[in-house]
Amino acid sequence: MTATKNTILTHQEILHKIRRIAYQIYESNVNESEIILAGIDTNGYLLAKKLKTNLDKISDIKSTLCKVVVDKKNPLSEIKTSLSEEEYTNKSIILIDDVLNSGSTLIYGVKHFLNVPLKQFKTAVLVNRNHKKFPVKADFKGISLSTSLKEHVEVVLNGKNFEAYLK
Protein backbone atom coordinates (compact mmCIF):
# COMPACT_ATOMS: atom_id res chain seq x y z
CA MET A 1 0.00 0.00 0.00
CA THR A 2 1.58 3.29 -1.08
CA ALA A 3 1.08 6.47 0.88
CA THR A 4 -0.93 9.14 -0.88
CA LYS A 5 0.44 12.64 -1.19
CA ASN A 6 -1.87 15.55 -0.37
CA THR A 7 -0.56 18.97 -1.32
CA ILE A 8 -0.70 21.45 1.55
CA LEU A 9 1.07 24.36 -0.16
CA THR A 10 1.75 24.91 -3.86
CA HIS A 11 4.81 26.70 -5.25
CA GLN A 12 2.96 30.04 -5.46
CA GLU A 13 1.53 29.65 -1.96
CA ILE A 14 4.99 28.95 -0.52
CA LEU A 15 6.40 32.05 -2.23
CA HIS A 16 3.51 34.09 -0.77
CA LYS A 17 4.08 32.66 2.76
CA ILE A 18 7.81 33.41 2.55
CA ARG A 19 7.11 37.00 1.50
CA ARG A 20 4.58 37.42 4.33
CA ILE A 21 6.96 35.97 6.95
CA ALA A 22 9.72 38.30 5.67
CA TYR A 23 7.43 41.30 6.24
CA GLN A 24 6.58 40.05 9.75
CA ILE A 25 10.28 39.63 10.57
CA TYR A 26 10.95 43.13 9.25
CA GLU A 27 8.11 44.63 11.32
CA SER A 28 9.36 42.83 14.43
CA ASN A 29 12.92 44.12 13.87
CA VAL A 30 12.29 47.54 12.33
CA ASN A 31 14.63 49.25 14.84
CA GLU A 32 17.49 46.80 14.36
CA SER A 33 20.51 47.48 12.17
CA GLU A 34 21.30 43.77 11.77
CA ILE A 35 19.46 40.49 12.22
CA ILE A 36 20.73 36.93 12.08
CA LEU A 37 18.68 34.41 10.09
CA ALA A 38 19.72 31.09 11.60
CA GLY A 39 18.42 28.28 9.41
CA ILE A 40 18.45 24.68 10.62
CA ASP A 41 20.21 22.52 8.03
CA THR A 42 18.90 21.51 5.41
CA ASN A 43 15.39 22.82 4.66
CA GLY A 44 15.45 25.43 7.43
CA TYR A 45 18.59 26.90 5.89
CA LEU A 46 17.01 26.90 2.40
CA LEU A 47 14.02 28.73 3.89
CA ALA A 48 16.35 31.21 5.66
CA LYS A 49 18.07 31.98 2.32
CA LYS A 50 14.71 32.66 0.67
CA LEU A 51 13.64 34.86 3.61
CA LYS A 52 16.93 36.79 3.34
CA THR A 53 16.31 37.45 -0.37
CA ASN A 54 12.85 38.85 0.46
CA LEU A 55 14.10 40.87 3.45
CA ASP A 56 16.87 42.42 1.37
CA LYS A 57 14.22 43.63 -1.13
CA ILE A 58 11.88 45.20 1.44
CA SER A 59 14.23 46.60 4.11
CA ASP A 60 17.63 48.15 4.66
CA ILE A 61 18.31 45.98 7.72
CA LYS A 62 21.48 43.96 7.26
CA SER A 63 20.49 40.29 7.34
CA THR A 64 23.18 37.67 7.93
CA LEU A 65 22.68 33.98 7.23
CA CYS A 66 23.78 31.38 9.75
CA LYS A 67 23.62 27.63 9.11
CA VAL A 68 22.68 25.63 12.22
CA VAL A 69 23.54 21.92 12.12
CA VAL A 70 21.49 19.79 14.53
CA ASP A 71 21.77 16.00 14.51
CA LYS A 72 18.04 15.26 14.49
CA LYS A 73 18.64 11.63 15.51
CA ASN A 74 20.89 12.68 18.40
CA PRO A 75 19.95 16.30 19.24
CA LEU A 76 22.01 16.30 22.44
CA SER A 77 25.22 16.08 20.40
CA GLU A 78 27.11 19.29 19.71
CA ILE A 79 25.28 21.83 17.56
CA LYS A 80 27.42 23.61 15.00
CA THR A 81 26.80 27.05 13.51
CA SER A 82 28.45 28.76 10.56
CA LEU A 83 28.87 31.95 12.66
CA SER A 84 30.96 32.29 15.80
CA GLU A 85 29.31 33.32 19.08
CA GLU A 86 30.89 36.79 18.77
CA GLU A 87 29.11 37.30 15.44
CA TYR A 88 25.64 36.90 16.97
CA THR A 89 26.21 38.24 20.50
CA ASN A 90 23.74 41.05 21.35
CA LYS A 91 21.95 40.66 18.02
CA SER A 92 18.40 39.77 17.06
CA ILE A 93 18.16 36.12 15.94
CA ILE A 94 15.42 34.31 14.09
CA LEU A 95 15.80 30.52 14.24
CA ILE A 96 14.21 29.04 11.11
CA ASP A 97 13.05 25.54 10.18
CA ASP A 98 10.67 24.19 7.56
CA VAL A 99 8.31 22.22 9.85
CA LEU A 100 7.62 22.52 13.59
CA ASN A 101 6.50 19.03 14.56
CA SER A 102 7.38 17.86 18.08
CA GLY A 103 9.52 20.92 18.75
CA SER A 104 12.66 18.94 19.60
CA THR A 105 14.83 20.32 16.76
CA LEU A 106 13.83 23.92 17.52
CA ILE A 107 14.23 23.55 21.29
CA TYR A 108 17.77 22.19 20.94
CA GLY A 109 18.54 24.97 18.47
CA VAL A 110 17.18 27.54 20.95
CA LYS A 111 19.28 25.97 23.74
CA HIS A 112 22.45 26.47 21.69
CA PHE A 113 21.86 30.21 21.29
CA LEU A 114 21.14 30.72 25.01
CA ASN A 115 24.89 30.53 25.73
CA VAL A 116 25.35 34.17 24.67
CA PRO A 117 23.45 37.39 25.40
CA LEU A 118 20.97 38.22 22.63
CA LYS A 119 18.86 41.29 21.90
CA GLN A 120 15.86 39.27 20.77
CA PHE A 121 15.15 35.65 19.85
CA LYS A 122 12.26 34.50 17.63
CA THR A 123 11.40 31.41 15.63
CA ALA A 124 9.97 31.02 12.12
CA VAL A 125 8.59 27.95 10.34
CA LEU A 126 6.78 27.35 7.08
CA VAL A 127 4.49 24.65 8.53
CA ASN A 128 3.44 24.54 12.19
CA ARG A 129 1.99 21.21 13.35
CA ASN A 130 0.11 20.79 16.59
CA HIS A 131 1.98 17.80 18.11
CA LYS A 132 4.46 19.51 20.35
CA LYS A 133 6.21 17.57 23.06
CA PHE A 134 8.34 20.61 24.00
CA PRO A 135 7.07 24.08 24.98
CA VAL A 136 8.32 25.86 21.87
CA LYS A 137 6.23 28.00 19.56
CA ALA A 138 6.68 29.55 16.16
CA ASP A 139 6.63 33.35 16.29
CA PHE A 140 6.28 33.50 12.51
CA LYS A 141 4.53 30.73 10.60
CA GLY A 142 3.30 30.18 7.09
CA ILE A 143 0.50 27.75 7.92
CA SER A 144 -0.77 25.84 10.98
CA LEU A 145 -2.03 22.28 10.58
CA SER A 146 -3.79 19.80 12.78
CA THR A 147 -2.68 16.39 11.58
CA SER A 148 -2.63 12.88 12.95
CA LEU A 149 0.56 11.55 14.50
CA LYS A 150 0.85 9.02 11.66
CA GLU A 151 0.91 11.71 9.00
CA HIS A 152 4.19 13.27 7.86
CA VAL A 153 4.70 16.75 6.40
CA GLU A 154 7.29 16.94 3.64
CA VAL A 155 8.57 20.27 2.33
CA VAL A 156 10.51 20.62 -0.94
CA LEU A 157 12.39 23.94 -1.22
CA ASN A 158 15.10 23.07 -3.75
CA GLY A 159 14.74 22.97 -7.50
CA LYS A 160 12.23 25.02 -9.49
CA ASN A 161 9.00 23.78 -7.94
CA PHE A 162 8.51 24.23 -4.20
CA GLU A 163 5.86 22.13 -2.50
CA ALA A 164 4.60 21.12 0.92
CA TYR A 165 2.58 17.95 1.20
CA LEU A 166 1.16 15.49 3.69
CA LYS A 167 2.06 11.79 3.49
Please tell me what DSSP assigns to residue 149: T
pLDDT of residue 93: 97
Question: pLDDT over 90 for what percent of the chain?
Answer: 71
Distance CA 14, CA 165 (A): 11
3-state secondary structure of 147: coil
Task: Check residue 144 and give left, alpha or beta (phi > 0: left; psi -120 to 50: alpha).
Answer: beta
CATH code for residues 6-166: 3.40.50.2020
pLDDT of residue 1: 46
Peptide bond into 7 cis (omega under 30): no
Confidence of residue 102 (pLDDT cuts 50, 70, 90): confident
Answer whether residue 33 shows pLDDT above 60: yes
Q: pTM of the entire structure?
A: 0.93
Backbone φ, ψ for residue 61 (5° rounding): -70, 135
Q: 113 with 80: CB under 8 angstroms?
A: no
Distance CA 68, CA 97 (A): 10
